[in-house]
Structure 1
Amino acid sequence: MLAVKNTPENSGYITEQAYLEGEKTAEFRHEYVDGQIYAMAGTSRRHNRIALNIVRHLPLQRQDGTPCDVYSSDVKVRASKRKSFYYPDVVLTCTPDNADAYYVEQPCLIVEVTSKSTDWKDRSEKLLAYQALESLQAYLIVAQDKPHVTFYYRQADDGTWWVAAFEDLDQEITLPCLDTPLALADIYAGVDFTQPAEPDR
C-alpha cells in the first residue's frame, strides 16, 4: 500500500477552520485528526446513563470556590499539539476558557465512556492527545459492561502521569482538579449488569 502524507497541500486535507464551520451545521458529529474527519457512532442508553450520572455528581466549583463548567457529549476539546478535536463524553474546566463557543482548550478532567468500537482509540490515540493538554489533571475511561474505571492522573509535583484501576462499587476516586470523591456506585447508578451493554454484531 502506498502511504501519502496528509498535508495542507493535499486536496483531501480539511483545515481546522473548515471543520469547525462545517460542524456547526452537520447532521452528525465528527471528530477531527490532522486534516481528516471521522463520523461518530451513536451511543447506547447505558452509555448515556453513565455519562449523565457522572455529570450529575460533579460539583460546579472546587473546594477553593473556583467556579467550574461541566459539559457532556456536544462540546469539543481541542488538542492543539495533536491537531485534533474530540467530543469527550464528559469534560470539566475550572479556568476561564473563552477561546471559542464550541470547544474548550483547558479542561482539567475528561471522561470517556468506552464501547467495543471506541476502546482502542480511547486507550491509545485519545490518551496521548489528552495527556498532552497542559491543563488536564485526570482522564477517566469508564467501562459499560462491568464496574471498571481506568483512572489516569497527573502528579502535581512533577507532571508525570500515573494510572489506577477501580472495580468495586464501594470504591471512590478522588478527582485531583476538584479534590472531591466520585463513587463508582454513583457512576453506575441504575445500571443492570445482568443485561448486555451493547448488542452483539
Structure 2
Amino acid sequence: MRFPQAAGRYLALGSNEMLIEQADSRSGRRKFMQAAVQHFITEEEYLTAERQQDEKHEWHLGECFAMAGSMRWHNLLSSRILAELVQHLDGKKCTPYMADLRLYIEAHRHYVYPDVMVICNEAAYLTDDMAKDAEIIVEVLSAGTESYDRGQKFLHYQFVPSLREYVLVSQDVMQVEIYRRQDGKWEYERLMRPEDVLLFETVGCTVTLEMLYCGIPLENSSLSRSIQKLKRHSL
C-alpha cells in the first residue's frame, strides 16, 4: 500500500478498494475518504506505508490525513524555537524535535507530527521514529489548521501523560499563547509585545518575541515597526 504523492488524488488500499482525497472544512486537513466500500486503514498499514515515503500523514481511528507542506514563515518560526531549545538543552536529558518524530496519543489512537516537541524521558520512545509522550508541544498556527490545533488536537494532546506546556504560535500577528498544566488544571498566558518573553518553564528556556518574529511580515504594521525599532537600537 502507498499513500499518494502531493499531486495524487487517490489512495489505493488493495485490488478493489480506493480512497478519494477530499478537503475537511472543519480541520483544514486533506482527508482520504472511502469512495465505494467503507474500509479503514489499519494502524499497521498506516505505519508500514508511512515509513516507505517522504510525505507525512496523520492517522486517527482508521482515517488518514495528509499534512500540507509548511510555508516560509511557518518554517522560520518553528526553526527559531527549535534552535533555542537545542542550544539550551545541549548535554541535558531533554531532547527537542521538529515535525519529523511521530507522536502516538494512545488514549485516542491518534498519530500526529507536532511542529516542535520536547521529550525528557527515554521510556517515551516506542521506536526510533515514534514516541508516546512529551513534556512540551508547540504548534505554529495557519489559516487551515488553527481551529484544529485549538480544538480537537489540543483535546487529544491533553491525554499525553507528561505534557506540561502546549504553545500556539501565530504567524500573521505577534501572538504566542501558552497553556501550562498545573495540578491537573490548564493555565493560560498570552504574549503580544516584542519585549515579552516566552518561557518554557519545564526546561527553563526563554525566547523573546522580538527575536522570534524578527523579519517576519505581520498584519499589524505597528507591531512590525516596533520590532524593527528594537532591532535598530540593538545595533
Distance 2:87 2:61 in 1: 33
Higher helix share: 2
Pair 159,171 (structure 1): closer, same or farther in 2 beyond 3 Å = same
- In structure 2, the partner of 1:130 is 157
TM-score, normalised with respect to structure 1: 0.84
Q: How big is the shift at 1:173? A: 2.2
Amino acid of the structure 1 residue aligned with 2:167: L
Distance 1:167 1:146 in 2: 8
- In structure 1, the partner of 2:216 is 191
2:192 to 167, 170, 178: 167
**Contact kept in structure 2, 1:60 and 1:69, CA below 8 Å:** no
Identity %: 30
TM-score, normalised with respect to structure 2: 0.72
Q: How does 1:15-30 map to 2 (within 5 A)?
A: 15-30=42-57
RCO higher in structure (CA 8 A, sep ≥6): 1
Pair 43,177 (structure 1): closer, same or farther in 2 beyond 3 Å = same
Distance 1:47 1:149 in 2: 13
Q: How big is the shift at 1:34? A: 1.2
Q: How big is the shift at 1:138? A: 0.4
Q: How big is the shift at 1:61? A: 6.1
**Contact kept in structure 2, 1:46 and 1:191, CA below 8 Å:** yes
Structure 2 gaps, min length 5:
1-36, 221-235
Distance 1:174 1:29 in 2: 30
**Contact kept in structure 2, 1:61 and 1:94, CA below 8 Å:** no
- Please list the CA deviations of residues 135-193 of structure 1 after superposition, one character each: whole Å capped at 9, or x if unmatched: 101011111101111111111xx221111111111101221210232222232233132
Give the number of aligned pairs.
184
- In structure 2, the partner of 1:146 is 173
Structure number with bigger Rg: 2
Q: How does 1:86-105 map to 2 (within 5 A)?
A: 86-96=112-122, 97-105=124-132
- In structure 2, the partner of 1:55 is 82
SS in 1 for 2:154: helix
Q: How does 1:12-91 map to 2 (within 5 A)?
A: 12-59=39-86, 66-91=92-117
Q: How big is the shift at 1:82? A: 1.1
Q: How does 1:3-14 map to 2 (within 5 A)?
A: 12-14=39-41
